[in-house]
Homo-oligomer: A and B are copies of this chain.
Amino acid sequence: MTERAPLGVAVIGTGRMGADHVRRVHEVTSGARVAAVVDIDAERAKAVAARVDGCTAHTDPAAAMAAADVDAVLIASPGPAHEATLLAAFEHDLPVLCEKPLTPDAASALRVLEAEQRLGHRRVQVGFMRRYDPEYAKLKALLTTGQLGRPLMLHNRHRNVASPPFFTSSMLISDSVAHEADATRWLLGHEITAVTVLRPTPSVSAPDALQDPQFVVFETDGGALSDVEIFVNCGFGYQVQAEVVCERGTARIGDGHALVTNMAGRWGGTIAQDWTERFEAAYDQEIQAWVDATRRGEVTGPSTWDGYAAAVVCEAGVRALENGGRVEVGLVERPALYA
């Protein structure tokens, strides 16, 4: 594979998450293409493949993996199907991004762990996407500097507007708190050694028999505690918050600000030192929007008229600066082309 060739990705599973990943690889990701999609529902696979030039549709993951233009596998099928697909990918020695959970239980996860060891090299990235969230990434980076000292406690909040109809009490742990289990391990760099789950009276908004909210306490081998409020019928919004309490300060993400710290008598956050930091996303989106519009044969965004108007205003501004007082701005009539 030369550097220029885009990575050919087979997306396994074309449900909500899989279809979204197809869109992402196709429209957002640089250097990759959707080479194949796989779904046990052949019609659904075909419909998704039809949206992408040169994408083939399959019902068997192994068939997709055997295709010449498939370089890597993205697993977005239901959890119980993961083990077989992972083992098939190992046979083809293909890199895999596997949506969480790796597998639905510890025994099957252990089998996958052992299979990858037999393969002799790492092939799997698990889809704990919070590690790629800009706020979590800043929190991790701050902890890594050691400025705050050793972490002692981690307070997590995980709130959803409402749970889907099929949600059970144990899914609050295995589907939702699974994210905090990984975030705890990753942020603190500790393994979890014990779990306690406390059960307040369920909310009147929780469906019958659902234990919601729950309050979970993790203990770690580094002597830290990590508590999790999981509340999947909170009604007001989707909210994920984390506060790490360290020996010399705390750091918090997720409540409408960016990273906020308590340190040395002050609370607050950092200010960018440079426009590249403040407007990096703006530049990325500007160029992407221009490329997308151009490929569609369109011109969008600020026009020549906008560039002209800015030039006239700035000239007037410079005169106003130099001479004092108020300077009027005179534009030519707006041409029909820019109406």
Q: In the complex the two chains form, is A229's CB within 8 Å of B304's CB?
A: no
Q: Write out the residue numbers on chain B whose beta carbons fall within 8 Å of the beta carbon of A66.
A: none
- Identical copies of this chain, number: 4
**Are A217 and B195 within 8 A (Cβ)?**
no
Main SS of the interface on chain A?
A: mixed
Instruction: Indicate which residue in B30, B214, B299, B329 contacts A125 across the interface (CB closer than 8 Å).
Output: B299
Given contacts A101-B311, A109-B308, A329-B193, contact A286 B237 (CB under 8 A): no
- Whether A106 sits at the interface, judged by CB under 8 Å, is yes
Chain B residues closer than 8 Å to A60, beta-carbon distance: none
CA distance A295 to B2 in the complex (A): 9
Q: In the docked arrangement, what's the CA distance between A102 and B233, Å? A: 40
Q: Which of B101, B292, B320 contacts A195 (CB 8 A)?
A: B320
Judging by beta carbons under 8 Å apart, are B247 and A256 in contact?
Answer: no
Once bound together, how far apart are the Cα atoms of A309 and B110, in whole Å? 9
A313 within 8 Å of B by Cβ?
yes
Q: Are A310 and B257 in contact (CB under 8 A)?
A: no
Instruction: List B contacts of A126 (CB < 8 A).
Output: 301-304, 306-307, 310
A238 in contact with B273 (CB, 8 Å)? yes
B196 touches A271 (CB 8 A): no
Q: Does A178 contact B (CB under 8 A)?
A: yes
